[in-house]
Amino acid sequence: MGKVKLIMEQTHTPLFDALDKHAKMRPLSMHVPGHKYGQVFSSKGYPYFHKLLEIDATELSGLDDLHHPEGAILEAQALLADLYGVEKSYFLVNGSTVGNLSMILAACSANDTVIVQRNSHKSILNGVRMAGVQPVFVHPTYDQDVQVASFVSFKTIRRAFDTYQNIKAVILTSPNYHGMMNKMELSKIITYAHEHGAVVLIDEAHGAHFMLEGFPSSAITLGADMVVQSAHKTLPAMTMGSFLHLNSYFVKPEEVEYYLQVLQSSSPSYPIMASLDLARHYLASIAKNGPNKILEKIKGFIQQLDKIPQIKVVKSTNQEVQTDVLKVTILSRCELNGYQLQTVFEEQGIYTEMADPNNILFVLPLTDAFDGDGVIEKIKQGLWEYKPLLRSFLDLHNEEVDTITPLALCYNEIKGYNKKVVSFREAVGNISGEMIIPYPPGIPVLMEGEQVTERHIEILNTYINTGAHIQGGDMRKKYIKILYK
Ligand X SMILES: Cc1ncc(COP(=O)(O)O)c(C=O)c1O
Residues that bind ligand X (CB under 6 A): 95-97, 100, 121, 123, 173, 177, 203, 205, 230, 242
Given a contact cutoff of 8 angstroms between Cβ atoms, the answer to whether 175 and 361 are in contact is no
Minimum distance from residue 436 beta carbon to ligand X (Å): 19
Handedness of CA 439, 441, 445, 448 (dihedral sign): positive
Nearer residue to ligand X within complex by CB, 92 or 483: 92
Round to whole Å and give the CA distance between 4 and 280: 14
Minimum distance from residue 92 beta carbon to ligand X (Å): 8
Minimum distance from residue 135 beta carbon to ligand X (Å): 16
Minimum distance from residue 1 beta carbon to ligand X (Å): 28
Nearer residue to ligand X within complex by CB, 239 or 285: 239
Minimum distance from residue 442 beta carbon to ligand X (Å): 10
Nearer residue to ligand X within complex by CB, 64 or 204: 204
Minimum distance from residue 36 beta carbon to ligand X (Å): 30
Nearer residue to ligand X within complex by CB, 177 or 259: 177
Q: What share of the chain is helix, strand, coil (3-state, %, to 5)?
A: 35, 20, 45
Round to whole Å and give the CA distance between 466 and 449: 26
Given a contact cutoff of 8 angstroms between Cβ atoms, the answer to whether 126 and 101 are in contact is yes
Nearer residue to ligand X within complex by CB, 382 or 442: 442
Nearer residue to ligand X within complex by CB, 102 or 230: 230
Partners of 199 in the beta sheet? 169
Residue closest to 170 by CA, chosen among 223, 218, 242 = 223
Partners of 330 in the beta sheet? 313, 360
Residue nearest ligand X (C-beta atom): 95
Given a contact cutoff of 8 angstroms between Cβ atoms, the answer to whether 273 and 92 are in contact is no
Residue closest to 334 by CA, chosen among 355, 363, 312 = 312
Residue closest to 133 by CA, chosen among 141, 122, 125, 121 = 125
Nearer residue to ligand X within complex by CB, 80 or 457: 80
Nearer residue to ligand X within complex by CB, 151 or 301: 151
C-alpha distances out from residue 184 to 151, 320, 368, Å:
11, 7, 30
Minimum distance from residue 94 beta carbon to ligand X (Å): 7
Round to whole Å and give the CA distance between 56 and 43: 18
Minimum distance from residue 5 beta carbon to ligand X (Å): 28
